[in-house]
Structure 1
């Protein structure tokens, strides 16, 4: 029975990825973004590749807002012989997608595990149409997924994969939040620090201006697709002056109250971080699913409080939700359903009806209220379920000792 399910998943991966490639080949259609989705690879990424190939990061480019680990990722497509840069990028993205699916399938095939995880990844990613193939978020998500799945076997590998992901896009460091306290945490964070430091030192030796991205990232405003952007959308219809302008690689609001909303987003991010630290201090129950659930909850909270929520961010959430669903003891099943629903709406927002959002029409407002409402609900529900599962009193037996949990205990260390 399990072998049959794996064959079905393999067939589904082939069919859905063929469809995504077809959409990418026809991305000039109006409902597919009139070529805008693929343009980021063959224009922007290819341009950055030319700069990186000369041993420097694009220090004076306001669109360069990524940690130095993004450099090797953007250079790698040119290493594939016989392919253009665009073809190489898509090929490597599909390879990372396949590695993620195989890792999830292997984890879900173990005794006591579930194949819902790989099914979610295989079926959820195409909801974003062809966008995942034209962004490098699939590669980053693959590193985060491998980090979480490695935890049960090696805390060292868990920390190393998390560090590699964090060097490419900072958020994978959050997957270490739920590592069990004590020796596992010390091992994972030590290996993350050692791996990250070694790779960062190597990148600093190979490239000039490795920290130029910090200046560009700090200048970002409020993107129209963010939760704060939804508030400004409503304020615009209430008479707020200002307009939408392309800057720092995204459509952002300008005018009154933008700085206030941006500062509020940063404050909410700090509050979210404080809540996650409080959960970790108060958590008394750890299961093999706890690190996965904590990672999804943390990334959800940081996503909804961010000044930017690009459509490719949904790739992260689909990947982390898929890891959660490989465990039968996860608390995040309803959260995963909300993530899937928000992902489907995201494809309508971008690229199909993005012009409505940019124009601040009522259609655009409705779409953003729906998508961001689903994400906010998912974040709140995720943290609430994580908190309850970790801090609820453990039932005791007649002898007054905590009853043994049905789940296998989390590894002490490896």
Structure 2
């Protein structure tokens, strides 16, 4: 055999090895074990929210002292307490390990849905490898917050959106009552699906049931406390809008500082106009979401195919939530996984650009947090530049997504394969 033939045969063997389910599951295990280890032992306290904040909430509730979201307003929707309580089931000493097991189990269920039971297609294989790579690039923050529980619900919901919209609506609504952001995916599903009446019925009915149970438990108006709690926050340093003030600190401005808020346990910008900017983010988010919805409805009315419209529309909604956000926490980057995985399953060539952009956002995020977060806290120019690049990449993602949604209503693309063939 010639040298070229040997190389070709070797390449074929590598492709077959990497393309099988076994290799993907081994990679899944390696990635999750590595990220679990980083969460437990890496510098920067990546599991701080779980072991320092979620633990206190779960402990207080277990003793009957204070049930967040029922006895007092809470920053999260009521179902967020479920995974926190589950992680506390084996006691305070093992809450971190239990949390990581819960995340890994949820990811494993969704990974099996993504791979499917039929012959493993190139599209699903590509999406699976991308998701694992994205998790590695994002680092420990991918597991160490409540968002890690919602992402599997979001990915599964989107994968089933075309063939099982009622199941998708159920999963996405549950995710939204853990942390609000999957509600944007419900909105995308309502716009893109031809069975939007069923989606709305499921989402509303399930939400009413969750609210009713919360009221029976004594929540009262606290069931909606997460809305007021979010509205009262200041401009967090990772927020896209904070870049403007961070560069002022770099330039030597004395009237702009970074201060720690003990009320919400975050670092915030304090300076001229910062509070006004924080107040404007919510209406700006609403305007942005309405603009995306308008473009999406235009495409749907013009007969855009679900598989062509849904991935970029979901991506556009998610990125709007990230850009017009006064918080901007690093774990928000996990949200990008759901629409990108769907896009790679349905239209891999088309979604190559957002997949690369999202991966770059993940890498920048891990560089900043948790390892060298202290440099951002002192507004080091290099790290302010990195945050600025992250914001620029998110803007590029939004531009790409809106353009793709607009084009979906302008031209008829070939029908993509269903997300789950079996």
Place the TM-score, normalised by the shorter chain, in its bin.
Answer: 0.7 to 0.9
Q: Cα distance 1:112–1:125, how it changes in 2: closer, same or farther (>3 A)?
A: closer
Q: Which residue of 1 aligns with 2:85?
A: 75
Moved more, 258-267 or 87-96: 258-267
Q: Which residue of 2 aligns with 1:216?
A: 229
SS in 2 for 1:259: helix
Q: CA deviation at 1:164?
A: 0.4
1:20 alignment partner, one of 10, 35, 40: 35
Q: Deviations over 1:127-175 (max 9, x none)?
A: 2222222212121011111111122222211111111011111111111
Q: CA deviation at 1:109?
A: 5.5
Q: Cα distance 1:201–1:108, how it changes in 2: closer, same or farther (>3 A)?
A: farther
Task: Give me the whole-angstrom Cα distance separating, in 2, the residues matched to 1:307 and 1:213.
Answer: 15
1:43 alignment partner, one of 41, 52, 56: 52
SS in 2 for 1:204: helix
Q: Deviations over 1:337-380 (max 9, x none)?
A: 10100100100111122111111121221111122111221122
Task: Give me the whole-angstrom Cα distance separating, in 1, the residues matched to 2:150 and 2:224.
Answer: 19
Any conservation in 2 of the 1:41–1:86 contact (CA below 8 Å)? yes
Moved more, 103-112 or 372-381: 103-112
Any conservation in 1 of the 2:39–2:140 contact (CA below 8 Å)? yes
Q: CA deviation at 1:327?
A: 1.2
Q: Which residue of 1 aligns with 2:146?
A: 136
Q: Which residue of 1 aligns with 2:249?
A: 236
Q: CA deviation at 1:61?
A: 7.7
Task: Give me the whole-angstrom Cα distance separating, in 1, the residues matched to 2:105 and 2:309.
Answer: 28
Task: Give me the whole-angstrom Cα distance separating, in 2, the residues matched to 1:41 and 1:113.
Answer: 35
Q: Which residue of 1 aligns with 2:409?
A: 391
Q: Which residue of 1 aligns with 2:269?
A: 253
Q: Which residue of 1 aligns with 2:183?
A: 173
Q: Which residue of 1 aligns with 2:210?
A: 199
Q: Deviations over 1:77-115 (max 9, x none)?
A: 233589722221111011112122222222895668432
Q: Cα distance 1:324–1:355, how it changes in 2: closer, same or farther (>3 A)?
A: same
Task: Give me the whole-angstrom Cα distance separating, in 2, the residues matched to 1:108 and 1:256.
Answer: 59
Moved more, 221-230 or 36-45: 36-45
Q: Which residue of 2 aligns with 1:266?
A: 282
Q: Structure 1: 5+ residue runs without aligned partners?
A: 395-404
> Does structure 1 residue 336 correspond to structure 2 residue 355?
yes
Q: Deviations over 1:248-285 (max 9, x none)?
A: 23211012110232244334313311211211221121
TM-score of the aligned structures, taking structure 2 as reference length: 0.85
Q: Which residue of 2 aligns with 1:400?
A: none
Q: CA deviation at 1:43?
A: 1.6
Any conservation in 1 of the 2:169–2:186 contact (CA below 8 Å)? yes
Q: Which residue of 2 aligns with 1:381?
A: 400
Task: Give me the whole-angstrom Cα distance separating, in 1, the residues matched to 2:216 and 2:349.
Answer: 43
Any conservation in 2 of the 1:120–1:318 contact (CA below 8 Å)? no
Task: Give me the whole-angstrom Cα distance separating, in 2, the residues matched to 1:289 and 1:81.
Answer: 47
Q: Where do residues 145-156 of structure 1 align in structure 2 (5 Å cutoff)?
A: 145-156=155-166
Q: Which residue of 1 aligns with 2:5?
A: none
Moved more, 204-213 or 298-307: 204-213
How many equivalent residue pairs?
Answer: 393
- Greater percentage in helix: 2
Q: Which residue of 2 aligns with 1:279?
A: 295
Q: Structure 2: 5+ residue runs without aligned partners?
A: 1-15
Q: Cα distance 1:181–1:221, how it changes in 2: closer, same or farther (>3 A)?
A: same
Q: Cα distance 1:325–1:134, how it changes in 2: closer, same or farther (>3 A)?
A: same
Q: Cα distance 1:282–1:10, how it changes in 2: closer, same or farther (>3 A)?
A: same
1:314 alignment partner, one of 330, 333, 340: 333
Q: Deviations over 1:276-319 (max 9, x none)?
A: 12112211212324223211221012211111111111111123
Q: Cα distance 1:228–1:408, how it changes in 2: closer, same or farther (>3 A)?
A: closer
Task: Give me the whole-angstrom Cα distance separating, in 1, the residues matched to 2:153 and 2:397.
Answer: 23
Q: Which residue of 2 aligns with 1:117?
A: 127
TM-score of the aligned structures, taking structure 1 as reference length: 0.87
Any conservation in 1 of the 2:18–2:24 contact (CA below 8 Å)? no
